[in-house]
Amino acid sequence: MRTRCALWVLTTWGLLLLFALPTLAWVPEREAKDTPGPSATGLAGADLWVSKYSDTSDTIPGRTVKYYIPFGNRGPDVATNVVISDTLPSINGRHILTWEWDNAYTLGLTRQHATGERRTLQWRGELQPGASATLEVVLRVASDISSCLTLPNVVAIHSSVPDPNREDNQAIAYGPPIRLPELSIRKTVEGVAVPGENITYTLVYSNAGCVAAQDVSVIDRLPAQVTFVSASVPPDSLEGNTVTWRDAILDFGPGQSVTISLVARVKDEILTGTVLTNTVVITTASVENSPENNVSTVTTTVKRADMALTKACPSTALPGQEIDYVL
């Protein structure tokens, strides 16, 4: 009797285990299907990325530049409360780019910054797994900044969802550089202006910028009281008292400096005390940052030459003999 009871108990438990095992094995499989798959790092979350570049090689003050900001979500989860922030560059605390336009609306992003923003641009939205897009941003360069500047521009992306890889959540774009020529000219006079004699002027012009100046001309307007004699660099034209150099310096490279010596003759009839005013200018077809040093004026006052008279005669003289005096 005891043997039959034991067999019945074992048989009953065996049947229960036989039906329960498939159920126990199936439950974890269903839970695994409901769990999001791993990202490239093997972790769940929203793997966001961002970069930035500009296709403009260089720019100048007052013009616009266009930046491109590609961004996306490698998954596996939806990225909610996505924030893209673009920190605009500043020089000595001064922000020199101003927002004018972007295509955020067409991408489903909400713009957070206002028109004319100069500090930080910001957009918000949501990114599905595998989604990517490119923001296009137009900025205007301040019109009164120095040339030869490179503008570092930092963009970043984050969301409220954990990001398994934050190394590509920020990007820096260097450019486009602001490059301009910086011309200057200076004129000096040597010696004293004396009627009927020559006077020498020295012109020094240079380009302190980082690019060549195009179509450069140097125009020297001599005073009416003198006439042109010669120049160490032959001028391209001479019209009255206007001396012009053009063809020899069409493209004036960065760091270059040229010195020209010009000789003029003061007219005989010019009165003592007359002030001779001479102005020279340098011009270029290129945009410059500081054109105020493109003009130089020098003055000199006409003086009579210092005259001295000496007289010599023989030490002795005889009556009735002619004497020769030397002046």
DSSP 77: S
For residue 263, what pLDDT is reported? 97
Task: Give the model's confidence band at 25: pLDDT under 50 very low, under 70 low, under 90 confident, else very high.
Answer: very low
pLDDT, one tens digit per residue, over 177-205 is 888 889 999 999 998 899 999 999 999 99
Mean pLDDT of all residues in the chain? 83
> What is the pLDDT averaged over residues 263-287?
94
pLDDT for 276 beyond 60 = yes
pLDDT for 275 beyond 70 = yes
CA 316 to each of CA 118, 199, 214, 310: distance values in angstroms, whole numbers, following the listed order = 98, 46, 77, 19
Task: Give the model's confidence band at 44: pLDDT under 50 very low, under 70 low, under 90 confident, else very high.
Answer: confident
Q: How far apart are CA 124 and CA 102, in angstroms?
A: 13
Q: How far apart are CA 19 and CA 132, in angstroms?
A: 49
> What is the pLDDT averaged over residues 240-265?
89
By residue count, the chain amounts to: 327
Task: Give the model's confidence band at 166: pLDDT under 50 very low, under 70 low, under 90 confident, else very high.
Answer: very high
pLDDT for 298 beyond 90 = yes
- Cα dihedral: 241, 247, 248, 252 (round 10): 110
Residue type, 286: S
Q: Which has more confidence, 305 or 304?
A: 304
Token digits for 239? Answer: 């019209």
Task: Give the model's confidence band at 43: pLDDT under 50 very low, under 70 low, under 90 confident, else very high.
Answer: low
pLDDT for 318 beyond 90 = no
pLDDT for 60 beyond 50 = yes
> What is the pLDDT averaged over residues 211-240?
94
pLDDT for 309 beyond 90 = no
pLDDT for 27 beyond 90 = no
Q: Which has more confidence, 9 or 312?
A: 312
Q: Taking Cα atoms as reference points, which of 121, 176, 188, 116 lies closest to residue 148?
A: 176
Task: Give the model's confidence band at 169: pLDDT under 50 very low, under 70 low, under 90 confident, else very high.
Answer: very high
The tokens 């398994």 sit on which residue?
A: 164
| Paired residues of 68 in beta bridges | 53, 136
pLDDT, one tens digit per residue, over 65-99 is 999 999 999 999 999 999 999 999 887 788 889 99
What domains sit in the chain, N to C, each tagged with a CATH number? 48-178 (2.60.40.1510), 183-302 (2.60.40.1510)
Cβ proximity of 171 and 154 under 8 Å: yes
pLDDT for 31 beyond 80 = no
Residue type, 275: V
> Among residues of the chain, what percentage have pLDDT more than 90?
57
